[in-house]
């Protein structure tokens, strides 16, 4: 999901939230809200996972202490050569 689409989804979720607080939602709007929320969470989780997988952790002595799970994901993406 690109930034423009992400903003549209977020704006629509907020619209539905405010409408729900004021007057309630129709069953169709509630279904739309759930679908948009699901889409938003999938996108958030994918971005967060990407950020974590790209992170390299270095301790105070300058030694890399990145977890093996993260190293494996980085190797699969071609980000590591070790």
pTM over 0.95: no
∠ CA 43-46-49, nearest 5°, is 150
- Decide yes or no: CATH 1.20.58 for domain 3-76: yes
pLDDT for 5: 94
| Alpha carbons 75 and 82: distance in angstroms, whole number | 8
List the chain pLDDT tens, one digit each, 82 residues: 889 999 999 999 999 999 999 999 999 999 999 999 999 999 999 999 999 888 999 999 999 999 999 999 999 999 888 8
pLDDT for 8: 96
pLDDT for 81: 84
pLDDT for 82: 82
């Amino acid at each position: 999901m690109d930034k423009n689409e992400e903003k549209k989804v977020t704006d629509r979720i907020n619209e539905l939230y405010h409408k729900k607080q004021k007057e309630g939602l129709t069953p169709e709007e509630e279904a739309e809200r759930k679908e948009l929320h699901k889409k938003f969470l999938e996108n958030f989780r994918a971005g967060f996972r990407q950020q974590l997988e790209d992170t390299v952790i270095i301790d105070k002595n300058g030694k890399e202490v990145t977890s093996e799970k993260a190293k494996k994901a980085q190797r699969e993406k071609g980000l590591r050569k070790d």
